[in-house]
Structure 1
Amino acid sequence: MNVKRGSTTFLKVIIFLIGIAVLAACIFLLPEAARRDAIERPGDYSLYPLLVCTYGICITFSVAWYQAFKLLTYIEKNNAFSELSLQSLKVIKKCTFTVILFILLAIVYLRAHAQFTGDDAAGPISLGLMGILATSIIAAIVDVFQKPIKNVMDSQPKNN
């Protein structure tokens, strides 16, 4: 096993473990939080828009992680500079923008909810802004990776 294959295998394992953690959160933690909230405050449905945003982020995150897993498989097979890897990067980039959209929706909801209830939403809103920053950095990194792949593919002659 060479170094490149070992490092991509390590990254695949990490991606798989993160995917399992996200899946476990969606299956066990989020429904439990909704159940506890429904018991504590019957008739109050203010948590549900946040749950929708959270599930949207989890699903989008899972799609991006799957594409990252596929990208590592392409790299292992020496297809890093192929149309398939470029497509995976495009999907990951779209997923980052979708996650940003869901975070923005949650921030807007938190701000509106805080306005009506008098709660202080500064903490969750600042966490959301940090999430937007982190997701924007990932989008920028994906964009940096896309450019050399596009250049290599544009320089190769077309086989028709």
Structure 2
Amino acid sequence: MGIPVLALCIFLLPQIATEAIEQVKMGSELAYIVFSVLFLMYLSAIPFYIALYQALRLLSYIDQNLAFSDLSVKSLKKIKKCAITISGFYVVNLPFVYIIAEWDDAPGLILIGMVIIGASMVIAVFAAVLQRLLQEAIHIKSENDLTV
């Protein structure tokens, strides 16, 4: 999952940046908006990779039979926070994308931004539900361990 995002950050986004630099040389003010969008896209890659790493840690906890532990709850909490952060970045980014879409007459750009926000929020809600269920399971397990 990380390879397509890394490829996007290495190949596509710098190409867009070089085209925006050419537009700055020609006197276009829209290029500065493109730079802000690109900056927020690069910035959103950081919580994405943090969440991906936490997902790998969570899978390793499950593999080590530590699924019902506080470590798993902490990993889910970090995944939830990263997903909310990514959504926040793209909510901030959406007005800039709207300006670019109006200028280029491409309303599909706004839809793509909203899909990213929606997907991140779905992941955040799913991680929150799993975190709560896991906390309850750990609580029930600790009560059962005390009664035996």
- 1:17-57 CA-to-partner distances (Å, cap 9, x unmatched) read x2133223223321222113312542532211101110122
Aligned to 1:145: 130
Q: Following the alignment from structure 1 to structure 2, what is the Cα–Cα distance between the partners of residues 127 and 32? A: 19
Partner of 1:47, secondary structure, is: helix
Give 2:119's aligned amino acid: A
Does structure 2 conserve the Cα–Cα contact (< 8 Å) formed by 1:110 and 1:121? no
Question: Percent identical across equivalent pairs?
Answer: 38
Report how far residue 148 of structure 1 moved. Answer: 2.1
Give 1:132's aligned amino acid: I
Partner of 2:18, secondary structure, is: helix
| Corresponding residue to 1:105 among 73, 92, 101 | 92
Aligned to 2:62: 75
Aligned to 2:13: 30
- 1:47-106 CA-to-partner distances (Å, cap 9, x unmatched) read 111011101221111111111011101110011111111111000000111111111111
Give 2:138's aligned amino acid: M
Q: Following the alignment from structure 2 to structure 1, what is the Cα–Cα distance between the partners of residues 61 and 9? A: 28
Q: Following the alignment from structure 2 to structure 1, what is the Cα–Cα distance between the partners of residues 114 and 7? A: 25
Q: Following the alignment from structure 2 to structure 1, what is the Cα–Cα distance between the partners of residues 109 and 16? A: 16
Q: Following the alignment from structure 1 to structure 2, what is the Cα–Cα distance between the partners of residues 32 and 110? A: 17
Say yes or no: does 1:134 pair with 2:119: yes
59-68 or 140-149, which moves further after superposition? Answer: 140-149
- Hey, which of these two has a bigger chunk of helix by percent? 2
Q: What does residue range 57-68 of structure 1 map to in structure 2 within 5 Å?
A: 57-68=44-55
| Normalised TM-score (structure 1) | 0.76
Report how many aligned residue pairs link the two structures: 140
Dislocated runs of 4+, deviation >6 Å: none
Partner of 2:86, secondary structure, is: helix
134-143 or 69-78, which moves further after superposition? Answer: 134-143
Give 1:91's aligned amino acid: K
Give 2:133's aligned amino acid: P
Does structure 1 conserve the Cα–Cα contact (< 8 Å) formed by 2:54 and 2:79? yes
Q: Following the alignment from structure 1 to structure 2, what is the Cα–Cα distance between the partners of residues 24 and 66? A: 18
Give 2:70's aligned amino acid: E
Tell me, which stretches of 5 or more residues in structure 2 are unaligned?
A: none
Tell me, which stretches of 5 or more residues in structure 1 are unaligned?
A: 1-17
Give 1:124's aligned amino acid: L
